[in-house]
Chain A
Amino acid sequence: MPTFKEDATVSSSEFIKAYRVMLLARVLEEKLASLYRGGMIKGGVFLGRGQEALSVSVGLHLHKGDIFAPLIRDQAGRMAFGDTILDTLRTYLGSQLGPMRGRDGNIHRGRPREGYYAMISHLGAMIPAVSGALLARRMKGETGIVGATCLGDGGTSTGAFHEGLNAAAVEKLPLVLVVANNQYAYSTPNSRQFACLDLVDKAVGYGVAGHKVDATDLEQCLLTLRKAVKAAREGGGPQLVVGDLLRLVGHGEHDDAHYVDPALKSAPVGRDCLLLAEEKIIAKKWASRAETSAWRHEAEEEVNATVDKVRREPGPKPEEDDWMAYSKSEFAEHYAGA
């Protein structure tokens, strides 16, 4: 692991702040899993269990005015960037009042006007989108901003990853590309995904800075993202961050992940970053076990109250939807018999 000369420590307050966002994300996702298995969710549920430390570190180092295009396992990062329990549940439960209004679901939510981009399912596609946004900001004379987007190990195999990262490098854009190497793309292991020794080795090929981190370790994640985001913000060009971890759930909640190698589960990479972070808090005596339990309880209360609220909200009404794919309504086609 690289060592840092400056800013090489994380304060207790920063650590606890990050931990509590991770905890909230975990509690919320546990509730989503339960709602899914209770038949309450419209569509699928895709969780980020085990990826919270890396994800939260991205969100926490972005400011208002930055751009964030998260991927499917970034509940923690989303919440650190400003996404809410309410927006999350409204999207999963199909409330008409949510930002996607029933037109898109689960992890495809966002508020692009607030720099929080709504991912499309095609992996790597958000890399050029964030790059273009950064290009626009630069042309408008804005400086000191950063755009971050997340990807998994599978996403690094796409053409969009290559084209996007290369184009961003050519333009020296303040892009932070965070790759969570969670060992599996759905069921496909690393060995069938890429042949390089380490994904971070790709950085040199594109001419961008590369960062490697043990993503089960919250402190290391916070330090690495702090460094990468700072470098991007200060004109260092694109930063590729690769975090090693294990996806502790199935690809989605419909998947029991029976194919995951048991050796990985018992290896260091298979540890749960949330538990490790809690142990660290206790060990460092930054908080007591009773306090961490109270935080969890608090998170559960908030999540449950929001679930109750959203479950009473109306779903989208087909007869009230304008069924309009154009901002200019005159462009609507009228098909006979439709």
Chain B
Amino acid sequence: MALAPILMPQLGESIAEATIVRVLFKEGDAVHADADLIEVETNKAVMGVTAPCSGTLGQILAETGQSYPVGAVLGYIEISKEDAVRLGLDEDDQPKAKSVEKKRVDKPAPPVTVEPTVKGGLPVPAHVGGASYLSPRMKARMAELGLRMADLSGIPGSGAGGRVTIEDLERFMAGIERNKTTPASPMRKAVADAMIRSWSRPIATVFRPITLDNLLAHRSKHPLKPGPALYTLRALAIALGENSACAGRLIGERIVHPPSIDIGFAVEAEDGVMVPVIRNADQYPLNDLVPRYNRLVELARQRRLPAGDTGGSIATVTNYGTFGLTLATPIPLPEQTLLIGMGVGRTVPFWNPAIEEFIPVVEAQFTLSFDHRVLDGGAAGRLLKRVAELLEGPEQL
């Protein structure tokens, strides 16, 4: 025995469904091909759905009063195997379930009601122009030449709104050829890339003088002679351990807090800068950090830092005082929000109000460079003040 489906016909060009008025036979009745089996109603007329072949009326799936879409299986007629072959129902047309879906053909999606107009529209920038705009052809040519947008900073655009046109670029590149050029080292290219990425943010810097006499005294008595940068690193770690939010990163509309207080420090190595990292620096006293620090400095100078000892830090300490500099505005690493810089210590007169005299103290300018999107001058100042307190009382470290 096989089953021939009784289908809801397409009863008019725009008809999508019809309602069952009544079923004219009972299950088990013998039915003849072309006989009306089920009366259905559309908005145009009442009509009979015919039997596709002769046989015994099997299961009726359709319920009176319900609407069914065109092509729905309303029931089955039980027919012989031979009839099934004759009708072409012997193959994959056999129903496997009470499925209403027809196979293969992509049905058009049912129409949905939509608002006739959308008010307001999506928030999009109104206009880009001038030097910030690069045409696709410019971008393609720059990619060809291995150029970045920063490389074009020296080109005054001659196009509309000051745009740099392809002619401007070609003229500039032709001019380059008249100069002496040397290839940039991989380290140089890596630093350049990192700085460009970092500079895409609004970086600001605050300054504060810090007296170092207590620190220097502490250091001179210390058997391991920790480097000044390590003092600062530890102080920053404690300060951030107390409030890590200002080391967070702004991603979209959320501040991402650092998972742990890992702080890097800059070490000059050949044609660039290495930044080894001390993990969880807030959790170890200064004494414990000294051997780790010294080992990392040595490895960095040899440019042999293991991958695990670099990257992933949340702030960096850089001691530009070693170059005799009193003040600098260094740029944090692109993945960091904060960078503390240390100027060279100098002996300066300090007005002591208690004795109403100038006394000599060793003082250095400390700078805190930060992503102004994440914190403001006040928060940066408070953070730097806390670092100053810790450095001026080094026994806390």
Mark A residues whose CB is within 8 Å of B.
30-31, 34-41, 43-44, 250, 252-256, 258, 304, 308, 311-312
The reply to whether B50 and A38 form a contact with Cβ atoms under 8 Å apart is: yes
Q: Residue among B7, B9, B15, B46 with the most chain A CB within 10 A?
A: B9
CA distance A40 to B10 in the complex (A): 9
| Pairs A–B under 8 Å by Cβ, sample size 18 | A31-B34, A34-B50, A35-B50, A37-B9, A37-B36, A37-B49, A39-B10, A39-B49, A43-B10, A252-B12, A253-B11, A254-B15, A254-B44, A255-B44, A256-B44, A256-B45, A304-B33, A308-B88
- Complex CA–CA separation, A308 to B88 (angstroms): 8
Residues of A within 8 A of B11 (CB): 37, 253-254
Taken residue by residue from 275 to 287, chain B's Cβ proximity to chain A (1 for < 8 Å, 0 otherwise) reads as 0000000000000
Among A30, A39, A252, A311, the residue within 8 A (CB) of B9 is: A39
**Do the beta carbons of A311 and B34 come within 8 Å of each other?**
no
| Interface residues as binary, B38-60 with A (CB distance below 8 Å gives 1, 0 otherwise) | 00001011111111100000000
Query: Whole-angstrom distance between the alpha carbons of A44 and B42 in the complex?
Result: 15
Task: State which of B34, B45, B48 has its C-beta within 8 Å of the C-beta of A258.
Answer: B45
Taken together as a complex, chains A and B put the C-alpha atoms of A269 and B15 apart, in Å, by: 32
| CB-CB nearest in chain B for A36 | B9
| Pair B47/A37 contact, Cβ less than 8 Å | yes
Contacts of A252 in B (CB 8 A): 12
Chain A positions within 8 Å of B50 at CB level: 34-35, 37-38
Q: What separation, in Å, do the CA atoms of A147 and B34 have in the docked complex?
A: 37
Task: Give a binary string over B1-33; 1 marks a CB under 8 Å from any A CB, 0 the rest.
Answer: 000001111111101000000000000000001
B3 to chain A: closest CB distance in Å? 15
Which residues of the other chain, A, contact B10 by a CB distance below 8 angstroms? 36, 39, 41, 43-44
Complex CA gap A207/B86 in Å reads: 56
In the complex with contacts A256-B46, A308-B86, A312-B88, A38-B9 CB distance below 8 A: yes
Does B47 contact A256, Cβ atoms closer than 8 Å?
yes
Q: How far is the CA of A218 from the CA of B50 in the complex (A)?
A: 31
Interface status of B192 (Cβ within 8 A of chain A): no
Which residue in chain B gives the minimum CB-CB distance to A34?
Answer: B34
B311 interface contact, C-beta 8 A? no
Of the residues B12, B15, B52, B70, contact of A38 by C-beta under 8 Å: B52
| Chain B min CB distance to A93 (Å) | 11
- The answer to whether B44 touches A311 (Cβ under 8 A) is no
A255 to B44, CA, bound (A): 7
CB of B87 within 8 A of CB of A311, answer yes
What residues of chain A lie closer than 8 Å to B70, measured between beta carbons? 39
Report the bound CA distance from A30 to B50 in whole Å.
Answer: 12
Interface status of B334 (Cβ within 8 A of chain A) = no
- B71 interface residue (CB < 8 Å to A): yes
Contact in complex: B34, A254 (CB < 8 Å): no
Q: How far is the CB of B49 from chain A (nearest CB, A)?
A: 6
Q: Which residues of B contact A304 (CB under 8 A)?
A: 33
Q: Are B13 and A38 in contact (CB under 8 A)?
A: no
Q: Which residues on the A side are within 8 Å of B45 (C-beta)?
A: 250, 254-256, 258
Measured in the bound complex, the distance between the Cα atoms of B44 and A44 in whole Å is 14
Closest chain B CB from A9 CB (angstroms): 38
Since A39-B10, A252-B12 are in contact, a sample of 4 more A-B pairs with Cβ atoms closer than 8 Å, ordered by chain A residue number, is: A38-B34, A38-B50, A255-B45, A308-B88
Residues of chain A with a CB closer than 8 A to B49's CB:
37-39
* List of A residues within 8 angstroms of B12 by Cβ: 44, 252, 254-255
Closest Cβ–Cβ distance, residue A297 to chain B (whole Å): 14
List residues of chain B with CB within 8 A of the CB of A256.
Answer: 44-47
**What are the 8 tightest A-B residue pairs by CB atom distance, in nearest-first order?**
A39-B7, A254-B12, A256-B45, A39-B9, A312-B88, A34-B34, A38-B50, A37-B50
Given the contacts A254-B12, A254-B44, A40 and B34 also touching, CB distance less than 8 Å: no
Residue of A nearest to B51 (CB): A38
